[in-house]
Amino acid sequence: MKEEQKMPFVKCFRTPNGFYCFDANKSELIDIPEEVYRYLLRLTEGNAAGEPPAAYTDFRSRGYFSEESRVRHVRHPMTDYIETLLESRESSAN
């Protein structure tokens, strides 16, 4: 029985020269085959029926495309200053 595929913690994109994926858990940008790129897109859309491509399975066996996130908290460096920045803009608009 095929196990349900979960969405890995990745961001995929393409350029005129190829297909790429940033694996957030490994903090690596990897060059991927088009079939893996298309499969990952289908996963994000929730319609990745069927068996994953062999290349996808190979990447998984090497620790890529994990759906377990090591990221616990995301915080922008300017978060502590947002109120001051907004107040400054508000007062300069008046």
Q: What is the pLDDT of residues 60-73, one digit of tens each?
A: 999 999 887 766 66
pLDDT of residue 1: 35
pLDDT of residue 94: 61
Residue range 17-22: mean pLDDT, rounded: 95
> Could you give the CA distance from residue 77 to residue 81 in angstroms, rounded to a whole number?
9
> Could you give the CA distance from residue 92 to residue 90 in angstroms, rounded to a whole number?
6
